[in-house]
Amino acid sequence: MQVSGRIDAVTAPDFEKACLEAIRSGERIVVLDFGEAQYISSAGLRSLLVIGKSLQEGGGGLRLANVTGVVSQVFELSGIYSLFPRFSTAEEAVG
């Protein structure tokens, strides 16, 4: 799934909903490509935790790809990288 723009208190609920719908439809591995993401807030981080937990409960997992700039700094500081594997590209994450 391509993530773009800002994931904040306004957009995080829709982002989370879209990801959870994919999981409910049978996806067990979700790759989030952050190449076009500019910002993520604590609300966005919370959504990642909810999505990751849902996937883990179903025997799957969340993978982060193409994370750069401010988003990468936020993930570094928050410890998200210790919870979910990260990849340079979405193709690597899928393979």
Confidence of residue 51 (pLDDT cuts 50, 70, 90): very high
Mean pLDDT of the chain: 97
pLDDT digits (tens, 9 = 90+) for 56-93: 999 999 999 999 999 999 999 999 999 999 999 999 99
Domain count of the fold of the chain: 1
The CATH number that applies at residue 87 is 3.30.750.24
SS (H, E, C) the chain: CEEEEEECCCCHHHHHHHHHHHHHCCCCEEEEEEEEEEEECHHHHHHHHHHHHHHHHCCCEEEEECCCHHHHHHHHHHCHHHCCCEECCHHHHHC
Which of 29-33, 34-38, 91-95 has the weakest average pLDDT?
A: 91-95
Domain limits for position 44: 2-94
